[in-house]
């Protein structure tokens, strides 16, 4: 999966730096092994709308908590955490490897992306390339270009 992500970024002429590390499942573990990754540390949460059944990928700063009530009002749906089976069927990912790069597996562009302004405006971001033993660091402009290439609807939160 990582090579697919790297090839996709390269096809868009998006520069990135690859960091390899032991498997990480939490932001705390990532902090331990990803000290050299520049920019904001992010967490990625896969959510589901209770009313509509729509799926959402929330990308926020690792040190923040997602206000589900506030975001639910914004998207006019009652958001809850999606099941692991949803993550597998929609993005072909397992928990611990959730990232925006999983959107490459969303061929119908059905997942709605929710990005905190703090992450959007960061100089650099780092995400797992669909495997939790690596992190790809890219610039803000590279991240914006990547998201624009996918066609998924997104909101700044």
- Would you kindly state where each structural domain of the chain is located, as residue ranges? 2-156
Superfamily of domain 2-156: YbaK/aminoacyl-tRNA synthetase-associated domain (3.90.960.10)
pTM for this entry? 0.89
For 126, phi then psi, to 5°, come to -135, 135
Structure confidence at residue 34 (pLDDT): 65
CB 81 within 8 A of CB 104: no
7 pLDDT band (50/70/90 cuts)?
very high
Q: Which residues contact 88 (CB under 8 A, 6 or more apart)?
A: 94
Q: What is the pLDDT of residues 49-98, one digit of tens each?
A: 999 999 999 999 988 999 999 999 999 999 999 999 999 999 998 877 78
Tokens of 135: 């992190």
């Amino acid at each position: 999966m990582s090579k697919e992500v790297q090839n996709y970024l390269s096809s868009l002429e998006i520069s990135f730096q690859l960091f390899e590390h032991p498997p990480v499942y939490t932001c705390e573990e990532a902090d331990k092994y990803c000290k050299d990754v520049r920019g904001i540390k992010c967490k990625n949460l896969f959510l589901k709308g209770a009313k509509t059944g729509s799926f959402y990928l929330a990308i926020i700063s690792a040190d923040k908590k997602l206000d589900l009530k506030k975001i639910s009002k914004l998207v006019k749906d009652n958001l809850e955490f999606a099941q692991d089976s949803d993550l597998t069927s929609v993005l072909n990912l397992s928990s611990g490897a959730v990232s925006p790069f999983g959107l490459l597996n969303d061929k119908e562009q059905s997942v709605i992306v929710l990005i905190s302004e703090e992450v959007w405006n960061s100089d650099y971001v780092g995400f797992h390339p669909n495997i939790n033993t690596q992190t790809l660091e890219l610039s803000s402009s590279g991240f914006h270009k990547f998201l624009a290439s996918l066609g998924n609807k997104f909101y700044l939160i």
